Amino acid sequence: MNNMKLALLFLISTLFSLCTIASTYEHPLDPLTPSEFNLVRTIVLKSYKASPPKLTFQYIGLDEPDKSIVLSWLSSSKTHNKSTTLPRRRVFVIARFNKQSHEIIVDLSKRFIVSSKVHSGHGFPMLTFDEQDVAAELPHSYKPFIDSVNKRGLNISQVVCSTFTVGWYGEAKSKRTLKIQCFYTEGSVNLYVRPVEGITLVVDLDERKVVQYSDRFKIPVPKAEGTEYRASKQKPPFGPTFNGAAFVQPNGPGFKINGHSISWANWEFHLGYDVRAGSMISVASIFDIEQQRYRRVLYRGYISEFFVPYMDPTADWFFKTYLDSGEFGFGQSIVSLVPSADCPSNAAFFDAHYAGEDGKPVKIANAICVFEKYAGDIMWRHTESEIPDEEITEVRPDISLVVRTVSTVGNYDYIIDWEFKPSGSIKLGVGLSGILGIKGTPYTHVDQIKGDAFGTLLAENTIGVHHDHYLTYYLDLDIDGEDNSFVKTNLETVKITDESSPRKSYWTVVHETAKTEADARIKLGLKPSELVVINPNKETKPGNKLGYRLFPGTVAHPLLLSDDYPQIRGAFTNYNVFVTPYNKSEKWAGGLYSDQGRGDDTLNVWSLRNRSIENKDIVLWHTVGIHHVPCQEDFPIMPTLNGGFELRPTNFFESNPVLKTKQPKPVRVPKCTSQP
């Protein structure tokens, strides 16, 4: 087969994958469709007798059916080959109306409002892009701001402003406000590294006007030179250079897409989307060749909250303690992926839809990509040369399936991967790239710094401010059934005090089953322990309980005082692991209303109820954490910093589940001529 035929075949198979992505819902957990958003909009506006912007939609998402309903639909649809009636479709709406947050549940099947109530607690709903855009434009028509810009000798047409959530610092009364700070784009599009320091505006989001203004001091805007990241603007010398590389699949992708359900190798799962969470993986099951059936591992998993506190307590910076998911919408912040760059050429793409503040659907093209990944790694291998006259080598390449999104929240780009491995592992990857949070400074050399600069001097007048990234994952594991337990397999030193061995010590394991939530709040790294979610009701042939282990990667412990306001709101990061009993209403670790929330509806607070978690349907919460001390290599754009963790089968299978996997058929690649 020549190259052109290969390319054509690949194109056809890719197009086939794309064409099979459904636009209507056919699974109870499918994301809302554009026509459903329109229907919700019509029903709500009619009921409230209002129209935008008098009423704004802050959140519209699936009010997911009870788990038992989804699971019974799933099992009967498998038995009856997908002809089963879908559970009724309900939608959860948070709307702002008359300066109040209204929680509305709409039944789409019967087209009526099931319930509506006004939120009476603390905090505000997610911010829409539309209102942030309006707020960010206000300074340009605000006279004191224009005067401040002129006073600095800057060209107002080159000033771009951005929105910053304000947090909560003990105020008794909160107004729905945003802070605005601005950046200079003359000579470089890398605006975030060129702040116009000293100026902060406060915008009332309900009034949509500037309510507070401060111009505290004037320091130089960091220079444009050396800040560009566009290839077209770079000057020689260039490099390093690479030869092109690709994972070639002459027979097309090995995965199948049916609506939002994906199957590949021994995995099948549902891929959803939510404007707040981003991608959501549900009902992930793995096929067991011994048992000849799919066995469920994960009911639902997604990023629940994302806490990013900066470590500068000064007037223009102290409030920068973001909850990126609850305030800005991790799903809303998803950007269109660039084919053959963000995702390899063998990827298939999903569009995503959310509702703008007027309730109308907004499309993110190529929001999620799915692809098979072969990075040249080894799944398993062994060379045996001990047997006389025989040399045995068996090796299998490690191929996996990746679901990827990129959320760009202001300056930062977060690359979020769900990687399914045929060995049963699920790797959750977080890649940090984009632009650092930069503070302007008069300093041009570290020798000039007096006191705490709150960051690293990266270039002249440029400080990369210290900060943290905490991503909290919601992982409703169902290890071959819903009722599970959480077991700490503690590794403990045993001393040998008699003469039975030349050794003085060894380690062994002591299993400790968490009875209540308090037993499962864990700070990782303090003592050696394997954390396993088991099914206490099922065991392998030798009698081990079926399990999946949390294999942590990057973890960090908060360094802020626990009574510091940002940490009260971010208390769900106080532990790296929490386990809670499944509760449909406990979705968002930082609270449903995390903008200016007061930490009273967070994972940490729910966990204090200390409910029983043994042999129950439980949810594992794991926080990936990174303390970030910026360095010069992070500037002017950051090479991706990778973190994450792995969920790994532990006595879930009778033996290595990829023992009998065969080598993929060899792929013929075009012959290359060697360079002289």
Residue closer to Cu ion (CB basis): 622 or 628: 628
CA distance 27 to 85: 10
Residue closer to Cu ion (CB basis): 413 or 480: 413
Report in angstroms how near the CB of residue 429 gets to Cu ion at its nearest. 16
CA distance 372 to 301: 20
Number of CB atoms found within 10 A of residue 483's CB: 15
Report in angstroms how near the CB of residue 195 gets to Cu ion at its nearest. 16
- Residue 233, C-beta contacts closer than 8 angstroms, at least 6 positions apart: none
In angstroms, the first-to-last Cα distance of the chain is 28
Whether a cis peptide bond, with omega within 30° of 0, leads into 502 is no
Report in angstroms how near the CB of residue 467 gets to Cu ion at its nearest. 6
Q: Hey, what are 645's tokens?
A: 């963790």
Candidate segments 112-120, 250-258, 584-592, 626-634, binder of Cu ion by CB under 5 A: 626-634
What's the alpha-carbon Rg for the chain, to the nearest Å? 27
Report in angstroms how near the CB of residue 199 gets to Cu ion at its nearest. 24
Report in angstroms how near the CB of residue 469 gets to Cu ion at its nearest. 5
CA distance 589 to 582: 13
In contact, 20 and 257? CB cutoff 8 Å: yes
Spot the catalytic one: 192, 412, 470, 565.
412
Residue closer to Cu ion (CB basis): 148 or 456: 456
Report in angstroms how near the CB of residue 466 gets to Cu ion at its nearest. 9
Residue type, 552: P
**Is residue 324 annotated as a catalytic residue, yes or no?**
yes
Residue closer to Cu ion (CB basis): 310 or 350: 310
Report in angstroms how near the CB of residue 431 gets to Cu ion at its nearest. 12
Candidate segments 60-68, 86-94, 179-187, 620-628, binder of Cu ion by CB under 5 A: 620-628
Q: Is the dihedral of CA 437, 443, 447, 453 positive or negative?
A: negative
Candidate segments 141-149, 277-285, 489-497, 624-632, binder of Cu ion by CB under 5 A: 624-632
CA distance 472 to 351: 25
The helix (H) or strand (E) run that includes residue 216 is none
Contact call for residue 628 and Cu ion (CB under 5 A): yes
Candidate segments 16-24, 176-184, 271-279, 627-635, binder of Cu ion by CB under 5 A: 627-635
CA distance 594 to 588: 9
Report in angstroms how near the CB of residue 24 gets to Cu ion at its nearest. 40
Q: Hey, what are 167's tokens?
A: 């947090």
In contact, 444 and 455? CB cutoff 8 Å: no
Tell me the per-residue interface mask from 580 to 619 with Cu ion, x by CB under 5 A, - otherwise.
Answer: ----------------------------------------
CA distance 375 to 344: 11
Q: Hey, what are 347's tokens?
A: 């990827």
Report in angstroms how near the CB of residue 432 gets to Cu ion at its nearest. 6
Helix (H, G, I), strand (E, B) or coil at 172: coil
Residue closer to Cu ion (CB basis): 14 or 567: 567
In contact, 246 and 304? CB cutoff 8 Å: no
In contact, 55 and 97? CB cutoff 8 Å: yes
Residue closer to Cu ion (CB basis): 273 or 328: 328
Residue type, 210: V
Residue closer to Cu ion (CB basis): 569 or 628: 628
Residue closer to Cu ion (CB basis): 194 or 628: 628
**Is residue 288 annotated as a catalytic residue, yes or no?**
no
Residue closer to Cu ion (CB basis): 323 or 534: 323
Spot the catalytic one: 324, 468, 478, 617.
324
- Pick from 25, 141, 140: nearest CA to 87: 25
Size of the site for Cu ion (CB under 5 A): 1
Distances (CA, A) of 589 to 124, 149, 490, 581: 15, 40, 27, 14
Strands (DSSP E) contained in 185-316 are 199-204, 209-215, 255-258, 261-264, 267-274, 278-288, 293-309
Active-site residues, by number, are 324, 412
* Chain contacts with Cu ion (rule: CB under 5 A): 628
